[in-house]
Amino acid sequence: MSDAVLRRRRDPQGRRQEIVAAAAELIVEVGVSALTHRMIAARAGVPLGATTQYFTTLDELRTAALGHLASEVDVRMGSIRSAFLTRGTSPEVITELILQGLADARALEADRAVVTAAVNDPQLRELARRWSAELAGFLTADYGQERAKAASIFIDGVLWHARIHDEQLDGSLIASALAGILGAPERPSPVSH
């Protein structure tokens, strides 16, 4: 009991999470390749040994952290899906969701960090592809496969644009472009009217 006070409360699962979260933060800030055990330990506020206790290699930890970021994106993806389900997939709704995404700097950075890393990481590429397909999938029912895919490509462009440019993209520009890409719904969206 007296020993339990000296040490941090035993909570392996929680500690693991802290480490992963710290690593994820750092990936967003300095990039995947700059990660080090020491850096992560410092950020997480855990001793150096803890980082190797929970993850055999740095690579394993890196993977976990990237997975963590990916899951953040997944969460957002889920909320987009439910927004589409309740509010339809009109260009205006999509635009609003995009603007919301752009406003959440943290989420944007997480997303771009993962996608950037994906360029040189097969596993992440798969992930990025899945998201891309998922987004397109949401729109396919209403606009057909081709247009849905084109829209998802455009959205990807918007996200990259935000990462490189400082200016805020105009909502009407996005909405018009989406409208142009998507054209009229192939069959009436169940919710949009």
Partner DNA sequence: TATGAATGAGTCTTCATTCAT
Partner DNA sequence: GATGAATGAAGACTCATTCAT
Applying CB under 8 A, which residues contact its own copies? 29-34, 112, 115-116, 118-120, 125, 128-129, 132, 146-147, 149-150, 153-158, 160-161, 163-165, 169-170, 172-174, 176-177, 179-183
HSE, side-chain direction, 13 A CA sphere, residue 126: 4
CB of 95 to its own copies, least distance (A): 12
The candidate with the shortest Cα–Cα distance to 142, out of 151, 131, 130, is 151
**Cα–chain center distance at 115:** 8
- Partner from DNA, its own copies, none contacting 186, C-beta within 5 to 8 A by type: none
Considering the complex, state which of residue 19 and residue 181 has its C-beta at the smaller distance from DNA. Answer: 19
d(CA 144, CA 62): 38
Our finding on whether 32 is near DNA (CB under 7 A) is: no
How far out from the chain centre does Cα 191 lie?
Answer: 26
Cβ(93)–Cβ(87) below 8 Å: yes
Binding site for DNA (CB under 7 A): 3, 5, 7-12, 15, 35-39, 46-54, 56-59
